[in-house]
Structure 1
Amino acid sequence: MATLDQTCSETAGTDHRPARSQWTVFLAYGLLAAATQALLVNYAPVTNDAARHFGVSVTAIGWLSQVFPLVYVLLAIPAGLLLDRFFHVALIAGAVLTASGAFLRMVGDDYQWALVGQVVAAVGQPFVLNAIPGLAVRYLADRHRATGIAAASSATFAGMVVGYLLGAFLPGEDHIETLTMVTALIAMDAGLCLVAALHFASPTGSPDGVPPVGGLRAFRAAFDNRYLRRLCAVVTIPMGTFIALATFVQPLLEPAGVGESIAGIVLALTMIAGVLGCAIVPVWAERRRREVQLMGAGIAFTSVACLHLALVPSTPMAVVTLLGIGFVLLPALPIVLSLSERHAPDSESTAAGLIWLAGNLGGVLLATVVGLLVASPGLAFVALAIATLGALPALRWFAALDRSGAAA
């Protein structure tokens, strides 16, 4: 690890660029990012089974997922600062924490150890997810960075696919221990792959001759950036809506006759749609400079979809609306991360931390509201529909600044 960061420091301040993009590192990183999200949703598709298995309430099981955005709110900025200063050490620390938390849940087959393990894994998550723009800067040619950020973001949603599919195919109280073990092995293997890939790859330092910064300098550079502040305002509500849906959609749909296995499959298909959307939409939008329009369409569709789930809850409606949300809303994340890398090139990991912080803060707030309304699914979906619409003024606010900057 020291060798990796020594290599980075030796290349800092130079205008080195990779002769070719090193996609092997991105593949290994994608496995780790997927593992973090599989842990996040590990118990979401089997909420009721897990509640019975551990002898706790449905709301308590929801906290096994909600702890991830809550910890992210606390650690997003410190993780971003450490990544900007000690990129490889911080990223590997995130991998170690992720795997360690996954295995801690196996110490005892009870809710307390499950919560402790989820908290430790949640501490590792900011070090992993904040690294996306920095990884693109260090290992991809400039022309490939938007594609790399989209691919890495897709991997996070692919991890949710894995988590939901595991829950769908291993339902029942007797399979909770199996789910825990499988995701622990995935986290360990993914972490080992990333360490190996970083060891054999050659980081190129900072792009465009901009030296890496850290500490308060990086935070000030990111926080003083008007574009970044407005991007944070844009991403808070949509990402919060998605986190709330991913956490509680199974118990919200159960009164409409959507069982745990079906809900798990629908959520997995939603994530698959998100993976496809992240692989296609951001690249198309970046080439045509249509990022704002596509994010607006995703926000509007999500609000209408939540309203439909409130009025006509059913399995077919859940399939249509949630798959649509996956395809049109989830690509907003890589779009925003790509925009943040473009507007904050001297502190990309801290900028990513602010973006993720805003989104996870929205997740904590909206998931808490939905958790309180879980006994009234229609009211919960209406609340999400109204909240999601609140992102449109923030998007127009950013678009106005973006247009004025382009004109200047």
Structure 2
Amino acid sequence: MVRPEGGGAPKPRGDGRGAEVAAEVRLSPRRWVVVLLFSSYSLCNAFQWIEYGSINNVFVRFYGVSTFAIDWLSMSYMLVYIPLLFPVAWLLDRKGLRLIALLGSALNALGAWVKLGSLRPQLFAVTVLGQVICSLAQVFILGMPSRIASVWFSSREVSTACSIAVFGNQVTGGCYLDGMGGCLNGRRNLGC
């Protein structure tokens, strides 16, 4: 995956201890497909985060719970992220992108299926369980964009690849759906 930069000739070191070879990532067209796939994967998880908060008045009536309870569904993402950030970052360093991506996508899919099974007014606890599972997936997802960009892209493309990877999470989790939720709830959202 790594090849010498600039024709492959080793560059002499200034201290006389040998030659230093600058490495560059071997560029493959499929790397852009991977970063777009990851962006959509992050978009799906961000949607899981904000889906209840964007139209909370509907869920308050459906489940018969307070607005505060619905708001805590999105707060679960922040609460789970804090204690698990460092263990998942360590796991990413030790096991690599593939395992982290598979665990994150499996948790996100499992959480979505659990939430799908909570489509009855008396099953709010099942909704909370599904949301917590999706928030576990988020911990795996948020650490990956910089790693994908640094491993699969050249030094000239790292910032572009990282921004594309993060874009899916920002569009869905940020102003787009929150702004729609403000319109659907009949109030004006000035946060974005």
In the superposition, the TM-score normalised over structure 1's length comes to: 0.38
Name the residue aligned to 1:52.
61
Post-superposition offset of 1:164: 2.0
Name the residue aligned to 2:102.
92
| Distance in 2 (alpha carbons) for counterparts of 1:114 and 1:57 | 14
Name the residue aligned to 1:322.
191
Three-state SS of the structure 1 residue aligned to 2:55 is helix
The one of 86, 104, 107 equivalent to 2:114 is 104
Post-superposition offset of 1:155: 1.5
Larger strand percent: 2
Contact (CA 8 Å) 1:39, 1:163: kept in 2 or not? no
| Distance in 1 (alpha carbons) for counterparts of 2:35 and 2:60 | 36
Post-superposition offset of 1:48: 1.7
Three-state SS of the structure 2 residue aligned to 1:19 is coil
- Please say if 1:260 is aligned against 2:184: yes
Identity rate of aligned residues, in percent? 23
| Distance in 1 (alpha carbons) for counterparts of 2:171 and 2:165 | 10
Contact (CA 8 Å) 1:37, 1:163: kept in 2 or not? no
Three-state SS of the structure 2 residue aligned to 1:142 is coil
Name the residue aligned to 2:26.
18
Three-state SS of the structure 2 residue aligned to 1:143 is coil
Name the residue aligned to 1:36.
45
Q: How large is the Cα RMSD of the aligned pairs?
A: 2.6
Aligned residues: 168
- Higher Rg: 2
Q: Summarize the alignment of residues 247-326 of structure 1 with structure 2, pairs less than 5 Å apart.
A: 260-263=184-187, 315=188, 318=189, 321-323=190-192
Larger helix percent: 1
Post-superposition offset of 1:100: 0.4
Q: Read off the aligned partner of 1:156 and give its amino acid letter.
A: N
Contact (CA 8 Å) 2:54, 2:177: kept in 1 or not? yes
| Distance in 1 (alpha carbons) for counterparts of 2:34 and 2:163 | 15
Three-state SS of the structure 2 residue aligned to 1:42 is helix
Q: Summarize the alignment of residues 332-351 of structure 1 with structure 2, pairs less than 5 Å apart.
A: none
Name the residue aligned to 2:155.
142
In the superposition, the TM-score normalised over structure 2's length comes to: 0.78
Name the residue aligned to 1:129.
142
Three-state SS of the structure 2 residue aligned to 1:105 is helix
Q: Deviations over 1:97-156 (max 9, x none)?
A: 011001101223221111000001111111111111111111111111111112222211
The one of 150, 155, 167 equivalent to 2:168 is 155
Question: Gaps spanning 5+ residues in structure 1: where?
Answer: 1-6, 8-13, 169-249, 251-258, 264-314, 324-408
| Distance in 2 (alpha carbons) for counterparts of 1:83 and 1:133 | 12
Contact (CA 8 Å) 2:103, 2:140: kept in 1 or not? yes
Q: Deviations over 1:1-33 (max 9, x none)?
A: xxxxxx9xxxxxx94512346211100000011
* Cα pair distance change 1:163/1:105, threshold 3 Å: farther
Q: Deviations over 1:237-259 (max 9, x none)?
A: xxxxxxxxxxxxx5xxxxxxxx6
Post-superposition offset of 1:51: 1.1
Q: Read off the aligned partner of 1:116 and give its amino acid letter.
A: L
Name the residue aligned to 1:223.
none
